[in-house]
Amino acid sequence: MVPIRGIMKTLEFNGRLVPRIGQGTWHIGDSSATRPAEIAALRRGIELGMTLIDTAEMYGAGRSELLVGEAIAPLRHRVQLVSKVLPSNASLDGTMKACEDSLKRLQVETIDLYLLHWRGRHLLRDTVAAFQRLAEQGKIRAWGVSNFDVDDMEELFAVPGGSSCAANQVLYNPEHRGIEYDLLPWCHRHNVTVMAYSPLGQAGSLLSSAPICKIAGKHRVAPAQVALAWCLCRPLLAIPKSGSIQHVEENAAADGLELDGEDLAAIDSSHPAPKRKRPLAML
């Protein structure tokens, strides 16, 4: 069943309640032919309560941010907006300029959460200093990182102001469970919210997974709902890509799906939990 009136389960983040299922926009905005459908899908997601929207300056070289800006224009007061700075731009001055450019494309005055997309050549202390300045100027409400492993997080927290990191966005789904061994517990201990990108697998690979399809049949739901419900067994946020109204509605419906012990055991059998440290997986 699709949630009504935009009521969904939430997680406290940075002093605010945010929906545990958001909307990702990687590869959205790339084609003018699909633009109207993608805007309609994002707006439908907001209507259903998926008010956290994730984008980045990298996505489509800014085209995703332009599309998101258009989609949320009449609904900005309802949206928690996330964007990211490329590591090549993450010097002190470069981060400031990149944020200004994102704000213009998004047609907003403030980004709710601004992330360093992955580690690059610029010093973390310079990126953090830029984040702090942007927060003081009211251009961002919070900042965080993406694709940071435990050693990266420890280095970040050793930088002046680094412990103010609010979130770490990483690849997480049944096919990529490495973060369960150390990164997920580390982030929870340090009050860093984990955001799971590609929760349906690379290019939706989990939608054809035999155990997930079997569980979907058992509950009479779509495989995407099973994959998302599995992610949400952990205290984190998930941001599946939302490209069509049908997929948005399937994603939203995962909010009400409860997997039982038999379901979880079947997924564990096919996609076992890590028993040792694994390199952080990235897309």
Q: What is the CATH number of the domain that holds 48?
A: 3.20.20.100
Query: Is 276 inside a domain boundary?
Result: no
Query: Is 278 inside a domain boundary?
Result: no
Q: What are phi and psi of 106, to 5 degrees?
A: -80, -15
Query: Is 269 inside a domain boundary?
Result: no
Whole-model pTM: value is 0.95
Active site residues: 59
Query: Is 268 inside a domain boundary?
Result: no
Is the alpha carbon torsion for 121, 111, 198, 261 positive or negative?
positive
Q: How far apart are alpha carbons 6 and 118 in whole angstroms?
A: 32
Query: Is 114 inside a domain boundary?
Result: yes
CB 67 within 8 A of CB 39: yes
Query: Is 212 inside a domain boundary?
Result: no
Query: Is 225 inside a domain boundary?
Result: no
- Across the chain, which has 283 residues, the per-10-residue mean pLDDT values are 57 88 93 93 95 96 96 93 98 98 98 97 98 98 98 98 98 97 97 96 88 96 95 94 89 94 96 94 93
Query: Is 273 inside a domain boundary?
Result: no
pLDDT (0 to 100) of residue 7: 63
Q: 180 lies in which domain range? A: 16-206+235-258
Structural domain tally of the chain? 1
Integer angstrom CA distances of residue 273 from 174, 179, 194, 212, 219: 8, 10, 18, 16, 23
